[in-house]
Structure formats: C-alpha cells, structure tokens
Amino acid sequence: QVQLVESGGGLVQAGGSLRLSCAASGSTLSGYRMGWFRQAPGKERLFVAAIDWSRGNRYYADSVEGRFIISSDNAKKTIYLQMNSLNIQDTAVYYCAAGWNSGVYTYAATEGYGHWGQGTQVTVSP
C-alpha cells in the first residue's frame, strides 16, 4: 500500500509561483508512476503532470507545459510540482497520485493510478 500526503497549496496572485509536495510512505515506489491531477469545482479531474519513478521520464498536460515542472527526490520518496506563471485557470484542488506501471493506461488516465492523496487547494487571484 502507498499513502500520499500533499502540501504546499495556498493563495497566490496571477503570475506568481507555488511548489506542491507529495510525500509517499508504505511500499517501495520502484516500478510506479507518480502524477499530479487537478479538479476545479464542477469539473472532472484532469491530468497535470507525471513522472516515471524508476526512469525519471516526465509528462505534462499541454495546458501546463513550459510553466510547471515535476520532479522527485527518491531518497525522501517525495515528488514536487513547481508551478510558475500561474493564472486563474490553474485554480483547483491538486491531487497527488501513484500507480503501478502496468502499461495498460497512459500517464494521463486517472485509471492508471490506484493511490490518491487528500488534495491541496490552489487558488490564483487576479
């Protein structure tokens, strides 16, 4: 079992930056993918970014490419999401997720992740 705890959300003005953290505990993450998703009120949960824990490959949604950076600290079993040039459309609850790299689902599919954190609110003001 993998437990995930996010932190780092908050209120920021448009154009500003925030860094989210997701600490994992439980079983080894070797062979896992780690991802960030976000969900705005009344909207579906959408893919933001993902990283292959073992190989370090990174994947981004088009909407955040060039502004957000996903990274990992294997020793701390923690992933980060550095969010720059934030805009109002980035306002959402951000969720950390972990899933086994079975090859069945793409990195952007919520079905590819079996473990989720509780979420952290990110609010971008004008």
- How confident is the model over 70-91, as pLDDT tens digits? 999 999 999 999 999 999 999 9
Question: Which pLDDT score, from 0 to 100, does residue 11 have?
Answer: 98
pLDDT band of 21, cuts 50, 70, 90: very high
> What pLDDT shows up at residue 35?
97
Residue 31 in this model has a pLDDT that exceeds 90: no
Percent of the chain with pLDDT over 90: 90
Cα separation, 120 vs 75, in Å, equals 23
Q: Is the pLDDT of residue 1 over 90?
A: no
Residues 6+ apart with CB under 8 A from 50: 33, 34, 35, 36, 58, 59, 70, 107, 108
Which pLDDT does position 4 carry in this prediction? 96
Report the Cα–Cα distance between both ends of the chain, in Å, rounded.
Answer: 40
Report the chain's mean pLDDT, rounded to a whole number: 95
- The least confident of 78-87, 90-99, 101-110 is 101-110
Q: Considering only 10-19, 39-48, 64-73, 98-107, which range has the smallest mean pLDDT? A: 98-107
